[in-house]
Amino acid sequence: MTDTSISFMRSLCGGEIEQEVLFPFPRLGPAEAETIAAVVDSVDSLLEGRAEEFRAWDVAGEMPSEFLDELREFGLFGLIIPEEAGGMGFGNLAYSRTLQQVARHDASVAVTVGAHSSIGMRGLKLYGTEEQKARYYEKLARGEMIAAFCLTEPGAGSDAASVRTTAIDRGDHFLLNGSKIWITNGGIADFFTVFARTAEVDGKGKLSAFIVTRDMPGVSVGPHEDKMGLRANSTTTVTFEDVRVPKENLLGPLHGGFKVAMNILNNGRSGVGGGTVGAMKRLIGLAAQHATQRKQFGQPIGNFGLIKQKVGQMVVDCYATEAAVTLTAALTDRGYEDTSVESAIVKIFSSEALWRTADEALQTAGGGGYMRELPYERILRDCRINRIWEGTNDILRLYIALTALNDVGQRLKEMSSSLKGIFDHPIKGFGLLYDYARRRANWATGLPTAKSSLSKAHLALRPQAELFEDLTRDLAAMADRLLRKHGKHIIGKQFATRRLADVMIDLYVLACVLSRVTSAIETKGLDGAQAELWVAQVFSGQAGRRARSNFRQIDENEDEQVKSLAEHAYERQGYAWDIL
């Protein structure tokens, strides 16, 4: 029986490799693969050959309403809604693969469709009552209602708990007042998942989530924001003025809205991941074409080492992202309850891999890459947002590392309390101590234990698996050491926690790559999977060097000087020097 309460990464920080979670690499069943292939083909038939339109909508900063009708007709707003309610009934993996295909053509279109399912109506799917689902599912599936997620306010960005919008209990309804900013799909949505304060404890708001519809008196939206990228997708303010929200529109538990918001964001991240893979595949196609066609110094530029380095790296980044996106989406589908750390890792890795890829593809195109006639600069502008929204990558790095350290701290606390109570509960106490001592000994000596091995990786990947095992021991030892050194003050040690998070990101993605390449070797043989073996070799070499450098820098660094220089700039409100 699978233990679906396990989180691969949270276990890893305690030094335990729960390899059953990631092996074997998920494979779609024949029926599901056939359905998705048909959807992917029809996405292509809808969006192929429309590049000029997408470019024009980017310049105009708007998507025509007739095109939204085409998306509706196509059923693209019903991807995650059950079939009996008129949707496609897709799980996370199928959903993410479909968004990949849309994003290959245009990011604004992908975000219009993606924000609806990933965050706009995800709360209804996760927390809605049967009655709420019956009321809205069919309209949402047909795109008769497009959905938006309303959390951010001028004073509440990363610090979502400081939302000021209020919902006051007035007996048969809640009275909603406040204003939200930068709401994706704001201008075209009719269904809003809104977060508002319903109580206050120690100056901090207790949030609740509500379903609010456009037809409720007092709901209004502002004009489209003039954005850097995703210009054809609607982003607006949404304002609520004395909106009477019926009691039955409360979504999830009263005062439990913060958790609802975080779960929606965690669950919806496979959409962002799928989109990034689609954009990377397109960029690799463009870069490979340009590298082989453009001649300089009497030969195709693709012959030069520096161009090969860029394109080869794009392939590694894309393969690694696809492995991590696929595995993580499948974990949610297979019922794993806690994938929040893994999902955060996927969001960070995929958004940064796409940014690198877009930047290097543009560089490969030279001056042409800078021209608006070609798609590179638009893709670069469009993809920048992925590092900011749905939790900035900085905040998610803190979340990843602090969640892991909290687990380690919890174990240490259990250990110290068992030490105190050792004579009351000798067996439990000695058991915990023995377990901890054994794990510490293992981190120091590398002696094998039941959970210290990545034995499911193919034998051809043994060197990479050994690297993973070594780095896992180092990670657990480092987490333990950081916590002993800083205790609860670790929360303020962002330089160190960032490095720990970066190691965790590399280790998770490496494990996903090893799982995927193992599966490729098993199905295609070593020769058939040769190129994928190269990916594993390159990625593990790079991840290993980054991780070792991050570990080293936790102790050897210039962090204090860097902080002083930041304060130097704050004091002067700018840079201090000139050569004049």
Ligand X SMILES: Cc1cc2nc3c(=O)[nH]c(=O)nc-3n(C[C@H](O)[C@H](O)[C@H](O)COP(=O)(O)OP(=O)(O)OC[C@H]3O[C@@H](n4cnc5c(N)ncnc54)[C@H](O)[C@@H]3O)c2cc1C
Q: Looking at the annotation, which residues are catalytic?
A: 390
Quick one: tokens of 28?
A: 């779609």
Using N-to-C axis directions, what is the helix angle for 257-293 and 305-333, rounded to 10°?
A: 150
The yes or no reply on residue 151 touching ligand X (CB under 6 A) is yes
The yes or no reply on residue 26 touching ligand X (CB under 6 A) is no
| Nearer to ligand X (CB atom), residue 50 or residue 387 | 387
Choices 87-95, 285-293, 386-394, 554-562 (CB under 6 A): range interacting with ligand X? 386-394
Choices 44-52, 150-158, 375-383, 453-461 (CB under 6 A): range interacting with ligand X? 150-158
| Nearer to ligand X (CB atom), residue 310 or residue 347 | 347
Dihedral sign from CA coordinates of 450, 454, 455, 456: positive
The yes or no reply on residue 392 touching ligand X (CB under 6 A) is yes
The binder of ligand X chosen from 150, 277, 291, 517 (CB under 6 A): 150
Quick one: tokens of 96?
A: 């993410």
What SS3 class is residue 406?
A: helix
Strand partners, 191: 147, 213
Instruction: Tell how far CA 470 is from the center of its chain.
Output: 26
- Rounded to 5 degrees, φ, ψ at 372 are -70, -15
What SS3 class is residue 85?
A: helix
Quick note: the x/- pattern for ligand X over 214-253, rule CB under 6 A, is -------------x--x----x------------------
The binder of ligand X chosen from 157, 218, 222, 312 (CB under 6 A): 157
The yes or no reply on residue 184 touching ligand X (CB under 6 A) is yes
Q: Footprint of ligand X on residues 105-134 (CB under 6 A)?
A: 115
The yes or no reply on residue 158 touching ligand X (CB under 6 A) is yes
The yes or no reply on residue 501 touching ligand X (CB under 6 A) is no
Contacts of residue 400, Cβ cutoff 8 Å, sequence gap at least 6? 9, 341, 344, 345, 348, 501, 504, 505
Residue nearest to ligand X (CB): 157
| Nearer to ligand X (CB atom), residue 164 or residue 334 | 164
CB atoms within 10 A of CB 339: 26
Length of the chain equals 580
Shortest Cβ 512–ligand X spacing (Å): 25
Q: Tell me, what DSSP letter sits at residue 491?
A: G
Shortest Cβ 151–ligand X spacing (Å): 3
The CA distance from 544 to 115, in Å, is 35
The yes or no reply on residue 183 touching ligand X (CB under 6 A) is yes
Judged by CB under 6 A, the number of residues near ligand X is: 20
| Nearer to ligand X (CB atom), residue 81 or residue 150 | 150
What SS3 class is residue 178?
A: strand
Shortest Cβ 161–ligand X spacing (Å): 12
Quick one: tokens of 402?
A: 């602090």
**Through-space distance between the first and last CA atoms of the chain, rounded to whole angstroms:** 72
Shortest Cβ 230–ligand X spacing (Å): 6
Which spans of this chain sit near ligand X (rule: CB under 6 A)?
A: 115, 148-152, 157-158, 182-184, 227, 230, 235, 385, 388-389, 392, 394-395
